Amino acid sequence: MRKISKIIAGGESETIEFKSSFSKDVIETAVAFANTRGGMILIGVSDDGEVVGTICGDESLQIWANEIKQNTSPSIIPTIEAVRLKNKTVVGIQIDEFPVKPVAFKDRYYRRVANSNHRMTLMEIANTHLQSLQLSWDAYPDAQTGAQQLSAEKIDLFLERVRQGGRFKVGGDRTVVLEKLGYMKGGVPTHAARLLFGKNDPPYSLHIGRFKTPSTIIDDRMIRGTLFEAAEEAMQFIVSHLKVAFEITGKIERNEIFEYPVAALRELLLNAVVHRDYISPTDIQIKIFDNAITFFNPGKLYGGLTVEELKTDSYQSRTRNKLIAEAFYLTRDIEKYGSGYLRVRNEIEEYPTMTFDYRESGDGYLARLEYKEQRTETAPKVGKKVGEKVGEKVGEKLTDNQQAILKCMQDNPAVAAKEISELIGISLRKTEENIKKLREQGLIERIGPARGGHWDVRG
């Protein structure tokens, strides 16, 4: 067991709970830990981390272990150990994450959120069970939908796009292919098949609107249809309401600059469609304001994924709807699982005042793009000031931040990454990511050691 004094110093958390004495609250916490990521309960420690001690013997430890085992379903078998700390006895109860969730205490289910226990909703219970079995709701047969209720035309269009995408070799009868892909099981369509290829409108909506103020709606639409159709119609609505700046370049054609990068908007739309909780009756909601756009989908982050992990760009993707995600992957609407937010951040780099925020909201998830000033010029190409070494061909592909980094390096070849981040106003992490990309493109090379060396900007 880990060193108790160090654990106490860290305070209560998602995996640590303090209790002055053993009670039913301990069993509730044990269930919450088992349904989340496991954890340790320290008996004999007050809420503020003071060691108050507890009176117990070997028999007490066995009684506590039996109480946890007998009052949980499926039964939790804890590891219990007593230690002496400051001349007092502290008992550590280690609870492992349970393999098949959820676990109940008196027919109630709890999960751990931050440093407290939350009672689970029916949808959370269902999703937790499916996740622990590595199953997804959309992969189950839909007893209310027969094969005749699927559109052959929509299936053929999907299979043609899959064929063109080259990620799955399509051949044979459409029913056979759908069976191979998991969209039909024993001739019965799955929930995913109904949502993707159904003849009739599916039991959900995508609500999208253009707002002048939070309460003043200029235009709105309730979109119903298969997921591919809904995503396409929603994207058309969004683009039709975007402001566009025109840059005069001296050529016959003008440069059109949308107020948001369209690729980022499509990524956020598809993220809402692919990851929403389709058991929930709540609609996907997209709101377009004068200088912001929000995407809300029912269903919180899935599989224990946190907002903080999303910010790392190296998070492990966890998919609520495996077959739906697979469909959009096979048609190349999405590129790679777990890389969507990285692409969004890369797209908005050329929009200097734009911010990207996201959080869990109520029983769902909200993503928001917002800007202070609309972009009116295309990203300046790397010209002679950044060196003829780089060249126009590569310069057209560089972001504003990358061009600024090159300029800093030309002005001061000995400049450090931290100094660059301060000069151009982006985080050190973003600066280092862009430097890495520039090195991979062969545009820069570090000559000499980290200290005492210099940058060579080259073509």
Which one has a higher pLDDT value, 289 or 253?
A: 289
Residue 174, C-beta contacts closer than 8 angstroms, at least 6 positions apart: 152, 155, 156, 159
User: Mean pLDDT across the stretch 199-209?
Assistant: 86
pLDDT tens, 133-192? 667 889 888 877 888 999 999 999 999 999 888 888 888 888 899 999 999 998 899 999
Same domain, 30 and 157: no
Residue 57: strand, helix, or coil: coil
Same domain, 252 and 116: no
Pull the structure tokens for residue 289. 């304001």
Same domain, 231 and 200: yes
**Is 127 part of any domain?**
no
Same domain, 167 and 116: no
Q: How far apart are CA 443 and CA 341, in angstroms?
A: 26
Give the end of a domain, one of 346, 376, 406: 376
> Strand (E) positions, 8-165?
16-19, 39-43, 72-73, 79-85, 88-95, 104-105, 108-113, 116-119
Does position 233 have pLDDT exceeding 70, yes or no? yes
User: What is the Rg, in whole angstroms, of the alpha carbon atoms belonging to the chain?
Assistant: 28
CATH of residue 438: 1.10.10.10
Cross-strand pairs, 454: 447
> What pLDDT shows up at residue 450?
65
**Is 349 part of any domain?**
yes
Q: How far apart are CA 88 and CA 105, in angstroms?
A: 30
**Is 125 part of any domain?**
no
pTM for the full model?
Answer: 0.62
Same domain, 191 and 106: no
CATH of residue 18: 3.30.950.30
Q: How far apart are CA 364 and CA 408, in angstroms?
A: 43
pLDDT tens, 242-274? 988 876 665 556 678 889 999 999 999 999 999
Element (H, E) at 424: helix 417-424
**Is 223 part of any domain?**
yes
Q: Find the domain containing 440 and state its range.
A: 392-457
Same domain, 188 and 140: yes
User: Mean pLDDT across the stretch 83-87?
Assistant: 90
Distances (CA, A) of 183 to 155, 169, 175, 438: 11, 16, 9, 43
Q: Is 181 exposed, middle or buried (0-12, 13-18, 19+ CB in 10 A)?
A: buried
Percent of the chain with pLDDT over 70: 90
> What pLDDT shows up at residue 388?
39
Same domain, 292 and 398: no
Same domain, 181 and 212: yes
User: Mean pLDDT across the stretch 401-410?
Assistant: 83
**Is 48 part of any domain?**
yes
Amino acid, res. 133 = L
Does position 391 have pLDDT exceeding 60, yes or no? no
**Is 384 part of any domain?**
no
Which one has a higher pLDDT value, 173 or 390?
A: 173
Q: How many domains does the chain have?
A: 3
Same domain, 192 and 334: yes
Same domain, 291 and 404: no
Same domain, 310 and 167: yes
> What pLDDT shows up at residue 452?
66
**Would you say 230 and 224 are in contact if contact means Cβ atoms under 8 Å apart?**
yes
CATH of residue 193: 3.30.565.60
Same domain, 115 and 154: no
Give the end of a domain, one of 314, 346, 376: 376
Does position 380 have pLDDT exceeding 80, yes or no? no
Does position 329 have pLDDT exceeding 70, yes or no? yes
Which one has a higher pLDDT value, 124 or 459?
A: 124
Question: Which residue in this structure is represented by tokens 């309960």?
Answer: 41
Does position 336 have pLDDT exceeding 90, yes or no? no
Question: Which residue in this structure is represented by tokens 């002048």?
Answer: 212
**Is 28 part of any domain?**
yes
Average pLDDT, the chain: 86
**Would you say 168 and 181 are in contact if contact means Cβ atoms under 8 Å apart?**
yes
Does position 77 have pLDDT exceeding 50, yes or no? yes
Give the end of a domain, one of 352, 376, 400: 376
**Is 277 part of any domain?**
yes
